[in-house]
Amino acid sequence: MTPSAVIKREIVYRRPVEVVDSAFPSPLRSVSESIGVAVVVMFLLGSTGLLDWANGLPAGTTIGDTLSNLAQRWNDAMSYLHLTRFAELLRQAWQAFQNLG
């Protein structure tokens, strides 16, 4: 590559603009904890969706079969704890709330 083919550009870093004027940045630890809680809730209340996803993986593959079996066992455990029913009630309540407007 010849020197004339190189494009030189100055990189300018700008501070991110807050969405809300009065907003203040959250520490990374706080954001990480929030994401962690969301993932735990997702696994507890979303076992049916996880099972549907795992069952949609290609059958006959080691990873697909393993994930499908693990998701089935997890869904069975959440059903035993009645969390699948609770999740369904939450979905129905949310749907009813959306239909109000």
At 22 the pLDDT is: 67
Report yes or no on 4 lying in a domain: no
- Which of 39, 36, 48 lies closest to 82 in space, CA to CA? 48
Report yes or no on 12 lying in a domain: no
Report yes or no on 10 lying in a domain: no
- Tally the domains of the chain: 1
- Distance from the Cα of residue 68 to its chain's centroid: 19
Report yes or no on 17 lying in a domain: no
Report yes or no on 22 lying in a domain: no
- Location of structure tokens 């499908």: 68
Report yes or no on 40 lying in a domain: yes
Residue 90 predicted with pLDDT over 80: yes
Report yes or no on 3 lying in a domain: no
Residue 99 predicted with pLDDT over 80: yes
If one compares 77 and 11, the residue with the highest pLDDT of the two is 77
If one compares 1 and 72, the residue with the highest pLDDT of the two is 72
At 19 the pLDDT is: 63
If one compares 76 and 19, the residue with the highest pLDDT of the two is 76
Report yes or no on 86 lying in a domain: yes
Span 67-77, average pLDDT: 97
Print the domain residue range for 73.
Answer: 28-99
Q: Could you tell me the two tokens for 78?
A: 């959440």
Burial track 21-40 (b if 16+ CB lie within 10 A, e otherwise): eeeeeeeeeeeeeeeeeeee
1-55 pLDDT, tens digit each: 555 666 777 777 777 665 666 667 778 888 899 999 999 999 999 999 999 999 9
23 — phi, psi (to 5°)?
-70, 150
At 16 the pLDDT is: 66
How is 54-101 classified by DSSP, letter by letter?
Answer: HHTSPTTSHHHHHHHHHHHHHHHHHHHTTHHHHHHHHHHHHHHHHHT-
Span 79-101, average pLDDT: 95
